[in-house]
Amino acid sequence: QVQLVESGGGLVQAGGSLRLSCTTSGLTFSTYTMTWFRQLPEKEREFAAGIGWSGDSLDYTDSVKGRFTISRDNTKNTVYLQMNSLKPGDTAVYYCAASRYKIQRDEGFYEYWGEGTQVTVSS
């Protein structure tokens, strides 16, 4: 049974930092592209950042470039999202997802999903 479990969310003031983790089990982690999506209040879920299976390929949505860093540790079956200089507009539920395809921004390419972790940024 495949499981993706996010952690690290919480409440932070604007300008602060959080590090999200997504630990997986039940899949060959090193062969999957891993991506963070987020769902802002009353908005559809959107792509935030993705990393290829080897860690060499990276993609970020424009609004997080320069502030967020995605990384992975294939020995720990875990993907991370370091979020710095957080803004109230980053308030969302953050989901990790796994895909056998190259990084895609369309969530339809993702087979497995976590249940999400809430990030709230206060002004």
Q: Which two tokens stand for residue 16?
A: 């602060």
Q: Is 71:55 a contact under the CB 8 Å cutoff? A: yes
Q: What is the pLDDT of residue 82?
A: 98
- The per-residue pLDDT of the chain, averaged, comes to 97
Given the structure tokens 């507009």, which residue do they identify? 89
Q: pLDDT by residue (tens digit) across 22-78? A: 999 999 999 999 999 999 999 999 999 999 999 999 999 999 999 999 999 999 999
80 and 103 Cβ atoms separated by less than 8 Å? no
**Span 89-103, average pLDDT:** 97
The pLDDT of residue 19 is 98
What percent of the chain has a predicted confidence (pLDDT) above 90? Answer: 100
pLDDT (0 to 100) of residue 114: 98
Residues paired with 50 in a beta bridge: 35, 59
Residues 6+ apart with CB under 8 A from 114: 4, 5, 6, 22, 95, 96, 97
